[in-house]
Amino acid sequence: MKKWIGVFFLLLSFHSTAEAGYRGGCYMAAVVGLNPYGDNFLAVRTGPGSRYPMIDELHTGDRVIVCGSRGYWRRIFYSRGGYCALKYGEPVGECARGWAYGRYLRPLW
């Protein structure tokens, strides 16, 4: 019985990580292609979709760390003035987090 409970919690923790869109193997990306005659910002949202509340704005040239996806949406980490960096494929520091539409994020290889 204890073995099955352990397996259940292991699967539950994997599911919650996958649910958040985080799969490891993060990479750096830049915000590109925004319409200067439109809003001219990329909305950062609490979840992967336009129905989720907007919590921040990113602008052309801003850099983010992408750590997962769901459909066209990317799970991102970024700096709001503090230290946020990519180290050994993972975000470290005081990173803000959210979701952004992937069309406007270009990987920095």
The amino acid sitting at 57 is E
Residue 67 has pLDDT above 50, yes or no: yes
Residue 81 has pLDDT above 80, yes or no: yes
For residue 11, the model assigns a pLDDT of: 36
27, two tokens: 């990479």
Residue 100 has pLDDT above 70, yes or no: yes
For residue 24, the model assigns a pLDDT of: 54
Q: What is the dihedral of CA 14, 20, 26, 31, to 10 degrees?
A: 170
- What is the C-alpha to C-alpha distance for residues 86 and 71, in angstroms, rounded to an integer? 23
Mean pLDDT score, 51-77: 97
Please state whether the predicted TM-score (pTM) of the whole model is above 0.85: no
The helix/strand/coil state of 21 is coil
The amino acid sitting at 66 is V
Per the model's pLDDT, the better-predicted residue between 23 and 35 turns out to be 35
The architecture (CATH level 2) of 22-107 comes to Roll (2.30)
Name the residue ranges covered by the structural domains of the chain.
Answer: 22-107
Contact 104, 82 (CB under 8 A): no
